[in-house]
Amino acid sequence: MSTVPDPETAQRSAEADRARIAELEARLEESEDTLAALRSGDFDAVVVQGPDNRNQIYTLENADRPYRVLIEQIQEGAVTLGADGTILYSNRRMTEMLGLRQERLIGQPLHAFIAGDDAPVLSRLLREASEGSARGELSLQTAGGGSVPANVSLSLLERTDTAPLLCGIITDLTEQRSRVRELADANARLEAQSEERERMEDALRQAQKMEAVGQLTGGIAHDFNNLLTIIKSSTDLLRRPDLADERRRRYVDAIADTVDRAARLTGQLLAFARRQSLKAEVFDVNDRVERITEMLGTIVGARIRIERILHELPCYIEADISQFETALVNLAVNARDAMDGEGRLELRVHCGAELPAIRTHHGDTSPYVAVSVTDTGTGIAPERIAHIFEPFYTTKEVGKGTGLGLSQVFGFAKQSGGNVEVQSEVGQGATFTIYLPQVEARTGERAVPSIRGIQRDTGGGRRVLVVEDNPDVGAFSTQLLQDLGYATTWAGRASEALLLLAEDVTQFDVVFSDVVMPGMNGVEMAREIRKLYPSLPVVLTSGYSHVLAEEGPQGFELLRKPYAVEDLSRVFRKATRK
């Protein structure tokens, strides 16, 4: 049962509570006033009575001790400066940075420990800090003569009765700068490694080409000797006065066909050996496989029978023709070695094939052109198939192969958006299939066959300036053009030709120039003629030129050596019509 206090008791209790609250508020106000006075320097100490009635002396030193310990132990330099930059206080870390004892720093100007070039920087920071705060980077001069990169942050500390002070935090940037240098060095190494990798990749591609050229060299030399034998024998027989007309035509046709075969061989060799970046073109795979088959016969030898199975319709891909042919040569050489020079080599072209899942790569249902090369050789062991496309991996004897051939095939297929599949059993031969994305034929991709037969009214007395540095070729060209009805003037150098044009450009209807010449080459001369005489047509001719390989004919008519008479006639008719 609870009891209710009487009104008098309740009133006395409330008055006691109010008195206690008033006492506490007064003590709080007194404490705040005392602390403010202590901080402002009105008192040196305050005696405080603790809960146990023991007196405690509270001084500014006691109040600052935790903060002093903190400042002394931080890993940044801390200083208090006068307005003129004199050091009034420094912590332990600051003395370590400068290599001096604390008593040697106090009273010294901070300028005394700044590297000469950065003195203006410190002056600016002091000036800006006197108005609020400032931050900047400079170099400290250590007692041992060294230099310490540092970040300086200064702030103004205002005081009511005395001059303001500057408080500063100084951060040693040595480790940070070292990390930055390390990162810069690492970045430079990465860039150098990237450049070296690109250089090695270029060298690897060229080595792959040159390996194919090496395989071609012996066979081409043999084949050229055969071609020269046909030409030499035919010309000897044509000199016979009693030779029948039918046999004379047969020998002339044999020479013409042999020259065409020689031109195809030199064209293939230049395609393999020249240095150029990958140039994607749309072409018919059937046509390229058919063209290269004859050359593959030279490479693999007479004891290997080559069978060619082409698709019934044209199959177009977009890829680098030179790399495509190099890949087929490398596969043929690999097959020849696997068959030890005797067996059957099959080349098959199939359009509209799906790309199967190959190794770790997913398949694709889009149409691909599949080019398969099958041999009847020794086959490949399963544990070796995973490594055959690695650069320099080879199972051949030392000196018999570099291991670059199949890596070129794989690299070409991947660069062209395709892949390479290998199917093989030991003792049963192997089939390498290159899958390349099939594309639509572009307008004008089909070559227009040259028209046989020389039109007899081609020259019409038109005047040709022939520019050729080789005396034999120059004499033959001028004689050939005269036989076609042209009037000719022969210049042995580009500079000589430009002088003739400067004397009287109206005496010429067309310029016919070789590309490779000493001094100014044919392309440079043609550009100069186009600039000086825009209406004068220029026809260039060359068997091979690095200028043409890198820059192309640049809008000029180009007749490639060796050329037929009808090709010469056709190009001149086209040029003079313009």
Mean pLDDT, residues 149-163? 83
* pLDDT at residue 46 greater than cutoff 60: no
Same domain, 333 and 428: yes
* pLDDT at residue 516 greater than cutoff 50: yes
Return the pLDDT at 13.
Answer: 74
Q: Is 186 inside a domain boundary?
A: no
Total of domains in the chain: 4
Per-range mean pLDDT, top range of 3-7, 28-32, 106-110: 106-110
What's the first-to-final CA gap in the chain, in angstroms?
Answer: 129
Sequence-separated (6 or more) residues with CB below 8 Å from residue 175: none
Q: Is 187 inside a domain boundary?
A: no
- 462: phi then psi, degrees, rounded to nearest 5: -65, 150
pLDDT band (50, 70, 90) for residue 368: very high
Tens of pLDDT, residues 550-569? 555 677 888 877 777 788 88
pLDDT band (50, 70, 90) for residue 70: confident
Return the pLDDT at 448.
Answer: 38
Same domain, 20 and 132: no
* pLDDT at residue 137 greater than cutoff 80: yes
- Identify the domain containing residue 151 by its residue range: 74-172
Q: What is the CATH classification number for the domain harbouring 104?
A: 3.30.450.20
Same domain, 409 and 558: no
Segment holding 160, helix H or strand E: none
Would strands 463-467 and 487-491 be described as parallel, antiparallel, or unpaired?
Answer: parallel
pLDDT band (50, 70, 90) for residue 232: confident
Angle between helices 60-73 and 7-40 (to 10 degrees): 60
pLDDT band (50, 70, 90) for residue 111: confident
Sequence-separated (6 or more) residues with CB below 8 Å from residue 361: 419
* Domain boundary residue, one of 148, 172, 196: 172
Q: 18: helix, coil or strand? A: helix
Average pLDDT, the chain: 79
Q: Is 383 inside a domain boundary?
A: yes
Would strands 45-49 and 55-59 be described as parallel, antiparallel, or unpaired?
Answer: antiparallel
CA distance 549 to 230: 31
Return the pLDDT at 451.
Answer: 37
Q: What is the CATH classification number for the domain harbouring 337?
A: 3.30.565.10
Return the pLDDT at 500.
Answer: 93
* pLDDT at residue 481 greater than cutoff 90: no
Same domain, 47 and 82: no
Return the pLDDT at 401.
Answer: 45
Return the pLDDT at 44.
Answer: 59
Residue keyed to tokens 């307005």: 83
Tens of pLDDT, residues 235-277? 888 888 888 888 888 888 878 877 877 776 666 555 545 444 4
Same domain, 284 and 426: yes
Per-range mean pLDDT, top range of 169-183, 190-204, 208-222, 434-448: 169-183
* pLDDT at residue 447 greater than cutoff 50: no
Q: Is 184 inside a domain boundary?
A: no
Same domain, 530 and 402: no
* Domain boundary residue, one of 22, 52, 82: 52
Q: Is 235 inside a domain boundary?
A: no
- Could you tell me the pTM of the whole model? 0.40
Same domain, 288 and 427: yes
% residues pLDDT > 90 (the chain): 17
